[in-house]
Amino acid sequence: MSTPELDQLDHLPAGLETVSARQLRTVFPNPTLIRLEGRHKQPLALSVMLHGDEIVGLAVLKRLQVWMKSHALPRSLIIFVGNVFAAEAGVRKLSDRPDYNRIWRGGPQPEHAMAAEVLDAFDAAGIFAHIDLHNNTGANPHYCCIHNERPDTLQLASFLGPLAMYTHNPPSMFSNSRADQVPAITAECGQPGEIDGEDAAFNLVMATLHLDHFRGAPDLELQVFEVKGRIEIASDASFAFAHGVKADLELPPKLEHWNFFERPAGTTFARRLTGRQVMTVYDDDRNDVTERFFKVEGDRVILTRDATPAMLTMSEAAIRADCLGYLMERRGV
């Protein structure tokens, strides 16, 4: 495959307001950079649709287009519309192409060359801040991924809400690759199609567009969590989110409701119905840290320390392709 074309626009295209994500290529045939001029010339960078089925970014562009009919942009914008091919197919990424949120530290694929072109444009523009808009698979409150705890980063994150996840992985995600240069966050805005997630994302963009300069303090007290483990289920294991079902692992029927709520030590997290050890926790370096978090009593898998889960999902496809979720701890406590 040749390098994807990177189209360039100086306006939001006509017809944008009515397209679905599946129709995105009727207005953006290729990944596209859009430059919009505002009063403050140092642009806010916005990236959307890096994952083709995470449509919050498209919703924000539509709202922005409506808003701009009656308002002048307070700050310039440079917008990257990412994986239009995956959007057309209704998937996160095309199976034979790289994940567009894993291409930002260089590499051999054509998409890496396109990413380098985008980064050159961002560098040339001298970015004020960068927001990458995403949706989650499971039920989660809105939160930002942050990659440092500088005051400007924290203030930017606070425009979405009080929750932030501090992480350095993966290094090749867009916001992580930018965080040394500019305040850069990934905004996780609930599940695709949720209106309150779209409201939160639009408000985040509006607040940042209207910000004259970073003050050096978050607008509200942020709760910052650090990922300490990734929970994976063995590929040959069966699991169920219900009681009385035959499976290797029984998980709570409302597991997703635990996201961003601290579970105290002693919580039963799962039951091993066949006695097999099929649920493993890995740290960032792929060390098995299961025993740091869990002990087994009878068939019960019990938390041995207070931990706050995130991104727990009940989607079998997501669990098989990725993981069950993450375990975090509060920073600074």
Judged by the rule CB under 5 A, the positions of this chain that interact with Zn ion are 51, 54, 134
Residue 308 contacts residue 276 (beta carbons within 8 Å): no
Least Å distance, CB 55 to Zn ion, is 11
Give the whole-angstrom CA distance, residue 49 versus residue 47. Answer: 7
Nearer to Zn ion, 51 or 228 (CB): 51
- Whose tokens are 């069950």? That residue is 324
**What's the N-to-C CA distance of the chain in angstroms?**
49
The half-sphere exposure of 279 on its side-chain side, counting CA atoms within 13 A, is 32
Least Å distance, CB 244 to Zn ion, is 35
The half-sphere exposure of 91 on its side-chain side, counting CA atoms within 13 A, is 12
Backbone angles phi, psi at 232, to 5 degrees: -120, 150
Least Å distance, CB 176 to Zn ion, is 13
Give the whole-angstrom CA distance, residue 156 versus residue 304. Answer: 34
Least Å distance, CB 145 to Zn ion, is 10
Which residues contact residue 188 at a Cβ distance below 8 angstroms, ignoring those fewer than 6 apart?
Answer: 134, 135, 136, 140, 142, 143, 144, 145
Nearer to Zn ion, 147 or 271 (CB): 147
Least Å distance, CB 132 to Zn ion, is 8
Residue 306 contacts residue 227 (beta carbons within 8 Å): no
Between β-strands 239-240 and 249-250, what pairing exists: parallel, antiparallel or unpaired? parallel
Least Å distance, CB 143 to Zn ion, is 13
Nearer to Zn ion, 51 or 130 (CB): 51
Least Å distance, CB 275 to Zn ion, is 36
Angle, helices 56-68 vs 195-209, to 10°: value is 50
- Whose tokens are 């509006």? That residue is 206
Nearer to Zn ion, 36 or 189 (CB): 189
Tokens of 230: 């990734």
CA distances from 315 to 122, 241, 301, 310 (A): 36, 10, 21, 14
Nearer to Zn ion, 99 or 199 (CB): 99
Between β-strands 294-297 and 325-330, what pairing exists: parallel, antiparallel or unpaired? unpaired
Nearer to Zn ion, 165 or 301 (CB): 165
Residue nearest to Zn ion (CB): 134
Give the whole-angstrom CA distance, residue 46 versus residue 134. Answer: 11
Nearer to Zn ion, 48 or 78 (CB): 48
Give the whole-angstrom CA distance, residue 245 versus residue 232. Answer: 20
Least Å distance, CB 141 to Zn ion, is 16
Least Å distance, CB 154 to Zn ion, is 22
Nearer to Zn ion, 34 or 56 (CB): 56
Nearer to Zn ion, 73 or 318 (CB): 318
Element (H, E) at 36: strand 32-36
